[in-house]
Every structure is written in C-alpha cells, then in structure tokens.
Amino acid sequence: MIFVELLCRYPYVTGTSVIGIKYKDGILMAADMGGSYGSTLRYKSVERMKPIGKHSLLGASGEISDFQELLRYLDELILYDNMWDDGNSLGPKEVHSYLTRVMYNRRNKFNPLWNSLVLGGVKKGQKYLGTVVSMIGVHFEDNHVATGFGNHLARPILRDEWHENLSFEDGVKLLEKCMLVLLYRDRSAINKLQIAKITEEGTTISPPYSLKTFWGFSAFKNPTLGAEGSW
C-alpha cells in the first residue's frame, strides 16, 4: 500500500486562509503574511498572493515551498504563452484549468503539491473566481471562495453579506471583517495582511498592514467571577 507520506510527506512551512470575492470591477483577495512552522509563527513577511500574467491573481495556503514551485511552473507557462506573440494571452479560466490539471495529476501519482489555491481574474470584462480546494485537485468557481479556516469562519459571513456589484470600499470592508474573525479565531493567523485587487486594468497588491482588534467587552474583564477556575 502506498501512502502519501512516503512520497510526499508532511508540510513544513505553511500559510493559512486565503479569501477571494467578486466585486463590481473584478476580484478582491485577502491573505495574511504568515508562514507557520508547526505551531511556531516563524515567518511574518511571506507574500501569499502573486499576479500571474496580465489577467490573473493567485493566492495560496498550505506548504510555501510547493507554492514557490507552482509559481515557477506558472512563470514558464506565461512565458511560453508570451513567446507566441500572437496578441492572445492566458486568462484566469485557463490558468485555473492548468492549475487544476497539475494538482490532480500530482495527486494521482501520490506526490501532491500541498496547497489550496484561489485563482481570480478579469478578462474582456468577464470576472472569474475559482478555487482548487486541496492537494486532491477538487475545484469549483463561485462568487466568494476561501481556503482552510476561511471556509468555516469567513464563508458564512460572505454568504450573508456578499452581493453583486459591491463597491471597492464595501468589498475591502467585507474582507477585513472576515480577516478580523480569522485573526481572533485561527491560531495560525498573524496580524499582518495584504489585500489584492485585480480588474481589467491590472493587479494591485496593497502594502502590508495590521488591523485593530477589540477587547473591550465587559465580560472579558472578569470572566471567571463566580466560577473560579473556569475559563
């Protein structure tokens, strides 16, 4: 019996959730900049979202070395596409399809890339947001997607509050609301994040920044009053 761990193994340096939403002009994506090493928050400046070609933006969670390798594959793919010099360029649908094939074929050989991916982009006015859910290669598209903890904590918020034609400001606020919950409740989250936007014009990734957190609930001040030893 061949086990995954024999051929590949355990993840070492991992990134946590990525969230992506469609908005009026394109796609907004958010991810923190943490690279965890087990339970240690070892690296705090890891960029987990990268532009791919002219029309796509890739966010990844999971093993960072595998994400770096994927970026190399994609670099080659985009280069090859550019070399044709035929006026055509790979759009987000195509890149997502390529990623899915790579992930699924690696899975079939019991040598997966230990990542969950979010691929968003706009081409010729068409917005596209797809996710490759895991190293197994399951994939789908939707108006809002998330990886890891984001599935459990962010998507319920998005199901409730996402709507068609969000403005940039509302989109950012919505993503920040989700990222704040993740910061409170995901042990591998760090308070240093980036928000990326991709529109017909191109990609912009914000500089790293931190969110203010709230601890001022009166219940927080003396939570064990009347029940010493509880938490």
Partner 1 sequence: MDLNAAHSMGTTIIGVTYDGGVILGADSRTSTGLYVANRASDKITQLTDNVYVCRSGSAADSQIVSDYVRYFLHQHTIQLGQPATVKVAANLVRLISYNNKNMLETGLIVGGWDKYEGGKIYGIPLGGTIIEQPFAIGGSGSSYLYGFFDQAWREGMTKDEAEQLVVKAVSLAIARDGASGGVVRTVIINSEGVTRNFYPGDTLPRWHEELEPQNSLLDILNTSSPEPMSIQ
Interface ranges with partner 1 (CB under 8 A): 6-9, 11-13, 35, 37, 40, 42-43, 45-46, 63-65, 68-69
| Nearest partner of 158 among 176, 183, 138, 139, judged by Cα | 176
Tokens 């490759």 sit at which residue?
132
Q: State which residue, 43 or 98, has the beta carbon closest to partner 1.
A: 43
Q: State which residue, 12 or 168, has the beta carbon closest to partner 1.
A: 12
For residue 73, the minimal CB distance to partner 1 (Å) is 13
What span, in angstroms and rounded, lies between the C-alpha atoms of 90 and 147? 24
| Nearest partner of 137 among 112, 167, 163, 164, judged by Cα | 112
For residue 74, the minimal CB distance to partner 1 (Å) is 16
Whether the Cβ atoms of residue 142 and residue 131 lie closer than 8 Å to each other: yes
For residue 59, the minimal CB distance to partner 1 (Å) is 17
For residue 144, the minimal CB distance to partner 1 (Å) is 29
| Nearest partner of 112 among 102, 121, 120, judged by Cα | 102
Phi, psi of 146 (to 5 degrees): -155, 160
Q: State which residue, 13 or 174, has the beta carbon closest to partner 1.
A: 13
Q: State which residue, 8 or 136, has the beta carbon closest to partner 1.
A: 8
Q: State which residue, 68 or 105, has the beta carbon closest to partner 1.
A: 68
For residue 41, the minimal CB distance to partner 1 (Å) is 9
Q: State which residue, 7 or 79, has the beta carbon closest to partner 1.
A: 7
CB-CB neighbours of 2 under 10 Å: 8
Tokens 């958010």 sit at which residue?
30
What span, in angstroms and rounded, lies between the C-alpha atoms of 28 and 21? 5
For residue 78, the minimal CB distance to partner 1 (Å) is 19
Whether the Cβ atoms of residue 28 and residue 173 lie closer than 8 Å to each other: no
Take residue 161 and report the two structure tokens written for it. Answer: 């509050």
